[in-house]
Amino acid sequence: MSYSGLLSIGEVNQLDLDQFIWLFGNVLEQNTEAAKYVFNNKPFKNALHIIKLFNKYLDTLSIQEQEKVLQQHPDLGSNVKMTPESTREQDGAGMNNLTENDRELLMEFNYRYKEHFGFPFVICARENNSDSVLENVKKRLENDKETELKLSIEEVKKIARLRILDLVWHS
């Protein structure tokens, strides 16, 4: 068993709703409704069970609700106030160490992306670096909105999975 998370599954199952929301309320960026949904499906078998429940929550949302989930994510490489999780993830991907030219390019891509799709570009920063982020945003600008919504939600699932594994011991 890996003990890289903060809590065992037994400890997670003992949390009350407020404690659970405090810990898991940002698994999906600033989305306590998702945490409430998952909490109501206790007891949890393991970290994978919690991951599947967050994914199920995302999959049951309407297109408009999925777009709202995406709109909670900060622009990559921006200087806006971010959650601690987003700050760590973007730092790890080198988004705060971009050259001035790359930062300007990313800001341009972020603007074009948001104008085109109506939500920010979302990618799992922990599975990328600044170069791959720039490549992906440029490439994904060519998608239609339906394709991009699906891709973006899959990226949110990757982010959520890693955040859950940071919180819960897993094997």
Out of 49, 73, 116, 170, pick the active-site residue.
73
* Residue 73: active-site member: yes
Domain at 161, CATH number:
1.10.3330.10
pLDDT (tens, 9 = 90+) of the chain, 171 residues, equals: 455 789 999 999 999 999 999 999 999 999 999 999 999 999 999 999 999 999 999 999 999 999 999 999 988 887 677 788 888 888 888 888 889 999 999 999 999 999 999 999 999 999 999 999 999 999 999 999 999 999 999 999 999 999 999 999 986
Would the pTM count as exceeding 0.85? yes
Q: Please work out, in degrees rounded to the nearest 5, the angle formed at the alpha carbon of residue 164 by the alpha carbons of 41 and 114.
A: 100
Per the domain annotation, does 24 fall within a domain? yes
**C-alpha to C-alpha distance for 132 and 63, rounded to whole angstroms:** 27
Per the domain annotation, does 3 fall within a domain? no
Domain count, the chain: 1
With beta carbons less than 8 A apart as the criterion, state whether 50 and 168 touch: yes
Per the domain annotation, does 1 fall within a domain? no
